[in-house]
Structure 1
Amino acid sequence: MAKTNPFQFLQQTRTEVGKVTWPTRRETLITTVMVFVMVFLAAIFFFVADQIMSWGVGLLLGAAG
């Protein structure tokens, strides 16, 4: 393993951070909104699936109605 002194490490880190393509504010906002939309849709899907399975189990066990 190569030894690097702290000053060289900080220089290399700064160089690498400079190579990163950072998202714009608009890209970040759009991505955040899309995450919230997908979470909402997943929550609705799993709620409906849970209700259907609950109804089905209730029918099988004779506890429905």
Structure 2
Amino acid sequence: MAKTNPLQFVQQVRAEVSKVVWPTRREVVLTTIMVFIMATLTGIFFALVDVIIRSGLQGVLNLFG
């Protein structure tokens, strides 16, 4: 494996960083809002599943208990 000197390494890093396409402020805000919405919907879904499973188990236990 070829070794590069520190100067070449820094130049290569700067060249790669200049290729990065940074998101706009609007894109960041929209994706952040979407993450919060999806996290909320996921939380509601799993809470409902938990209630359904819990009530089903309680029904079965009351039936035999």
Structure of higher RCO (CA pairs closer than 8 Å, 6+ residues apart)? 1
Please provide the CA RMSD for this pair: 1.1
Partner of 1:23: 23
Unaligned runs of 5+ in 1: none
SS at match of 1:62: helix
How many residue pairs match? The answer is 63
After superposition, give the CA deviation of every residue in 1:2-27 in whole Å (9 maximum; x if it has no partner): 21111111110000010111100000
- Provide runs of 4+ in structure 1 moved above 4 Å: none
CA distance in 2, matches of 1:14, 1:30: 29
- Which TM-score applies when normalising by structure 1? 0.92
3-12 vs 39-48, greater mean Cα deviation: 3-12
